[in-house]
Structure 1
Amino acid sequence: MEIIKWIGFNTIPIGITISIFLLIYGKIRHIKYLDPEVPLGRLLFFLGNIFALGIGFLSVKYGPQAMDSKTIAEGIMYIILGYSFCIYGFTFFFMTGMRRAYDIGFPFWIYPVFIVVTSLSRLVNEDIYEFLLLGMYIFLLQPGRTSE
């Protein structure tokens, strides 16, 4: 039962790590839905991020509930739900941003680096964090290669 509680406690970091490995594997193997070189428009970027964040909130809800489970079967059910939502949500979140960055003309790996720098800037100064968070929406305003 302690293993289930530990796995439930670490749902988000392990899910994000698995998502990053899936993105790398998808790029190496040129998997259609995990290849960041597929263009993505402004509306799909906006709707994709909203959808991915909604799925991410579900992972935050179900993953840690494994720590409060009474039986092993209930804990495994919450772990499966939490990890599925977490891996799918964060993979989709990173993929929409990477596709949009590539569509604008930036290298696709800029988006995950920007997300990490933005998240770490919150530890330094809240105002810098809010300013960099607005930078994500610059992707919405920039025209892509397909609309030129």
Structure 2
Amino acid sequence: MSHDHPSLRLLAVRETPLSVDEVFAAVGDRAAGGTALFVGTVRDHDGGAEVTGLGYSAHPSAEAELRRVAGKVAADFPVTALAAVHRVGDLVVGDLAVVVAVSCPHRAEAFAACRRLIDDLKREVPIWKHQTFLDGTEEWVGV
């Protein structure tokens, strides 16, 4: 059983609105020369169809899986600090769905670690998106 990497500052799956400022502040560190931040927002279309509503559902293991994914990124890159928060529940166009940030000594590794964090989160953390379209159809993504 591995213990938490000390650079993991904020990891959460929550129903309340997300804050870029909160995530950015969580990775602030005097040792970091570069911080990369990614914000995923609800867009108004997908595959050419107009999206009218969207909800995210998470498996009970989602936070533990988020911690595992984040720990792997922190182990594979020279991470000074890392944070990731994903929203669940019903969202509207323009809402923040996910905010991740990584600070590192230098910008190149911050960009690389942030990209890996969001890519692994989307691929491995059990959070599913349910979209409803203008024409009344709907779909589940990531199930």
Common fold: TM-score over 0.5: no
Q: TM-score range by the shorter chain?
A: under 0.3
TM (normalized to structure 1)?
Answer: 0.27
- The structure whose Rg is larger is 1
Q: Whose relative contact order is higher, 1 or 2, with alpha carbons under 8 Å and at least 6 apart?
A: 2
Which has the larger share of strand?
2
TM-score computed with the length of structure 2 as normaliser: 0.27
